Amino acid sequence: MSQVLRACKVCNFVTEESKCPRCNGETSREWQGYVVVIDHTKSEIARKVGITANGKYALRVR
Ligand SMILES: [Zn+2]
């Protein structure tokens, strides 16, 4: 089972869809690394990157 994961170019949300389910932005297969945010109110990374919802986010999207 190898699903190709994509990352949103706008909000960095990681998804399998070609359009981001969060912001409807374009997604890309060219991305590197990700963080899983379980509780964005307690996550230092989330605050730094500006993540305002829980989920999986790419660190770098091309
Ligand atoms: Zn998005």
pLDDT tens-digit readout, 39-58: 999 988 888 878 888 999 99
Mean pLDDT along residues 20-46: 93
> 1 lies in a domain?
no
- In the reported structure, the alpha carbon of residue 9 is separated from the centroid of ligand 1 by a whole-number distance in angstroms of 7
Query: What b-and-e string marks burial along 39-58, b requiring 16 or more CB atoms within 10 Å of the CB?
Result: ebeebeebeebebeeebebb
**What range does the domain containing 38 cover?**
6-61
Helix (H, G, I), strand (E, B) or coil at 19: strand
- In the reported structure, the alpha carbon of residue 26 is separated from the centroid of ligand 1 by a whole-number distance in angstroms of 7
> 15 lies in a domain?
yes
Total domains in the chain come to 1
Average pLDDT, the chain: 91
- In the reported structure, the alpha carbon of residue 57 is separated from the centroid of ligand 1 by a whole-number distance in angstroms of 10
Within 13 A of 59's CA, how many CA atoms are on the CB side?
6
Write the CATH number for 39. 2.20.28.90
9 close to 30: Cβ distance less than 8 angstroms: no
Confidence band of 31 (pLDDT split at 50, 70, 90): very high
Give kind and range of the element (H or E) at residue 32.
strand 31-37
- In the reported structure, the alpha carbon of residue 49 is separated from the centroid of ligand 1 by a whole-number distance in angstroms of 14
pLDDT at 1 over 70: no
> 54 lies in a domain?
yes
